[in-house]
């Protein structure tokens, strides 16, 4: 038989268990955010656009080129082999940077919405909103 006291004890223990889970989730999110934040320092040079090895085209042509958009116009620049590899790496770094920033934004929203007081809602926020 359950009494009012055992129900209160169960409710209290459930609340503390949920609080422990929430704090563990927050700590995990904060660790993920710190890891992503520290990875930004190691990215290196960044650049917009794409590079093309023209010898891989059909029919083959000579040289390398870098293409990007500036003020809604396409700009194409001829590159040396060394520039081709360096600019290619910078473009790869920029894409990695964009993915990392997207992940950091999602984690930031989850931390902010789970750690700060919220307004009353009839329906809870869905994951795709955060």
Per-residue tens of pLDDT for the chain, all 130 residues: 555 555 555 555 555 655 677 788 899 999 999 999 999 999 999 999 999 998 888 787 889 999 999 999 999 999 999 999 999 999 999 999 999 999 999 999 988 888 877 677 777 777 776 6
- Residue-range domain boundaries for the chain: 23-113
Residues contacting 86, CB < 8 A, separation 6+: 45
State the pTM of this model. 0.72
Instruction: Give the angle 72-77-82 at the CA atoms, nearest 5°.
Output: 135
Give me the pLDDT at residue 115, please. 80
- Judge whether 45 and 95 are in contact, CB under 8 Å: no
Is residue 53 within 8 Å of 87, Cβ to Cβ?
no
């Amino acid at each position: 038989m359950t009494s009012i006291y055992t129900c209160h004890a169960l409710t209290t223990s459930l609340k503390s268990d949920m609080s422990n889970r929430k704090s563990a989730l927050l700590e995990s999110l904060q660790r993920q955010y710190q890891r992503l934040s520290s990875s930004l320092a190691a990215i290196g040079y960044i650049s917009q656009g794409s590079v093309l090895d023209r010898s891989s085209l059909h029919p083959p042509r000579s040289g390398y080129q870098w293409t990007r958009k500036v003020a809604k116009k396409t700009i194409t620049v001829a590159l040396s082999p060394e520039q081709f590899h360096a600019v290619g790496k910078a473009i790869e770094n920029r894409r990695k940077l964009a993915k990392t920033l997207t992940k950091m934004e999602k984690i930031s929203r989850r931390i902010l919405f789970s750690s700060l007081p919220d307004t009353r809602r009839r329906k809870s926020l869905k994951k795709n909103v955060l």
